[in-house]
Chains A and B, each alone.
Chain A
Amino acid sequence: MSEDDFQPSGDRFPLTRRSVIERAHSIDAEERAGALEALCVAYWKPVYKYVRWRWNRPAHDAQDLTQGFFAGLLERGLLDKFDSKKSRLRTYLRVCVDSFVMNEDKAERRQKRGGAVLHVALDFAGAEEELGATVMDAARIPSPESLEQFFEKEWVRSLFALAVEDLRAFCASRERERTFHLFEAYDLEGNETISYQQMAREYGLSVVEVTNALAWARREFRRIALERLRVLSSSEEEFQREARAAFGWVAK
């Protein structure tokens, strides 16, 4: 039996998909803009919530800061300074946000606005609603660990939400909308007491069909989330570390 006999089918990543860090270093302006967009899509919400919580900034101020941070990310060459051997991209961005907020003068920020254009629609109202639903102890003085945990959790939430949207589109393209509805009902909205039998009755399916549909959806969700993560990681090592962090695959 050769190594090829174990070639995985589902967890292979298209090697042509380059990481955002590679793309950010490209000489092609379009490629760099694409990298910024990818970073912005994945990180704007954690950054916004972080600025709101960590820096206790009002919503409109946090919105300005979030947009300013991403707009200036390439201009200031912050991604060029990133060294994957020294830290994770996620941690690096968080530290950059801290530094940005500390140094940013409001008036100066307004003058600088317009350098890079963000083509990503940022739903700040939605983020505010989510913040309201997030349990946070405002009275607690945030420790470095809790800040990292908060940022990581919001990053995972953002990553998974994007992967869920991708899965929804993938299911639609395969005409498997019902599978997505099952997944949505059981894994995203379901309560602890709902059973496969109840789901089967509700959707007029057999329990085996429900089991198979959910297994398929989870497998595809995992594949899509890991694919997104791979693109957001700067190296194989970082990808593996981030995957373990995102999915909670940590040695216990």
Chain B
Amino acid sequence: MNFLSDQALKRLRDGAEMPDLAGTRYRMLERIARGGMGVVYTAEDENLGRRVALKVLDVPGTDGDLRNRLIREARVLAALEHPGIVPVHDVGTLGDGRVFYTMKFVEGNRLDKFIESVASVPDRLRIFLRICDAVAFAHARGVLHRDLKPANIMVGPFGEVLVMDWGLAKILRGEVSSTMLAADPEATVFDKPKQANIASAATEASVVTGHGTVMGTPGYMSPEQARGDVEHLDTRSDIYSLGALLRFLLTGQPEGASTPGGPRLDKSLAAICAKATEAAPAERYPDVQEMALDVSRYLDGLAVGAHRESLFEKAGRFYRRYRFFILLIAAYLAMRVLILLFMHR
């Protein structure tokens, strides 16, 4: 038996990881990311002459669980046609037996990188509202994302915001269309909670268990999701994640107070974050639209539902909203006073 040098080990690893695209219409370009259960590459679709993102399983599961999850993810994406959700093009099996799917290749930055160049709070809130649009659409189709976090949001070069990585999505029974339910052989599995197991496989900071009980990312997942209470997860679990995401957009971290030296969080925005991340789901916003409405009201200088203002705060908000007219009137009055004083001299 020959000794394998470190260089040979590296080559063997690299060679074993590379998907075998022979027999497909795709040509490998480069690896761009590694996710919870697979790797994402860029590839060229030689039939259509365009670049796509190709996600492929790394480890084959002997029980087919991972394989089914990747297929399910592709089908969930296919059922969610929305400008804020990355579109899927194709799904299949490679020559080496691994399941893959291709989707639109999104050029741009992950949200956590992108916001480093966005200083203004209103701009950050407008990005957040686009995320809310996509999530609200998925909820309307009966799909929970369950892993909303900055790393799963992409911002394109033209400002388009896309929610990615639906690998942990849960399809809610009773709300889902018949075609999606048919495409989701595991839909019933998610309704049978198993003992929560957070310790096993941590990948890309997401915590994923082997079967059925799928967790999210610490800091972004709701308490009920962290407990593995899969049976009772509903749209309010995603609302918790959106609250953490909003806090991250405003303070740089999903939990707690803002970072020292970072931007001071406005009381109304802090209240929106707090309401969305209440420990009890019943205390949170009932749906994403309600949360988005509060954020929009803040952007418009209106009172938000999550925060009861004092008289002083109301006056401050009134001043901020009508600052131009108030300053105009103040200037006019000051001029009148000066004129009167001048005339009485």
Contact = CB atoms under 8 A, between A and B. Distances in A.
A244 interface: yes
B20 interface: yes
7 contacts: A3-B64, A6-B92, A187-B12, A218-B18, A222-B16, A226-B60, A236-B210
Given A9-B93, A12-B97, A236-B61, A161 B2 contact: yes
Interface stretch (A68-76, A101-109, A123-131, A198-206): A123-131
B58 A244 contact: yes
Interface string B5-27: 11011011101111010100000
Given A126-B1, A190-B11, A243 B99 contact: no
A248 B34 CA distance: 11
Given A123-B1, A221-B15, A237 B8 contact: no
Interface in A7-28: 7-13, 15
B9 A8 contact: no
Contact of A10 (B35, B62, B96, B205): B96
A161 B20 contact: no
B200 A11 contact: no
A141 interface: no
The 4 closest A-B CB pairs, nearest first, are A8-B97, A10-B97, A11-B60, A11-B97
Contacts of B13: 247-248
A212 interface: yes
Nearest to A192: B7
A188 B93 contact: no
A162 interface: yes
Contacts of B62: 12-13, 15, 230, 236, 239
Given A11-B96, A240-B201, A187 B11 contact: yes
A252 B200 contact: no
Given A10-B97, A160-B12, A161-B4, 17 more contacts: A6-B92, A8-B67, A11-B98, A157-B9, A161-B2, A187-B15, A188-B2, A188-B8, A236-B61, A236-B63, A239-B59, A243-B58, A247-B13, A250-B203, A251-B34, A251-B35, A251-B202
A240 B66 contact: yes
A232 interface: no
Interface string A91-115: 0000000000000000000000000
Instruction: Among A12, A190, A230, A249, find the residue whose CB has the most chain B CB atoms closer than 10 A.
Output: A249
A98 B327 CA distance: 78
Interface in B14-63: 15-18, 20, 22, 34-36, 39, 58-63
A8 B63 contact: no
Interface in A186-221: 186-190, 212, 214-215, 218-219, 221
B16 A221 contact: yes
A218 B308 CA distance: 64
B320 to A, nearest CB: 43
Contacts of A160: 4, 8-9, 12
B68 interface: yes
Contacts of A3: 64, 68, 71, 185
A225 interface: yes
A138 interface: no
Nearest to A188: B8
B204 interface: yes
B59 A8 contact: no
A120 B239 CA distance: 59
B325 interface: no
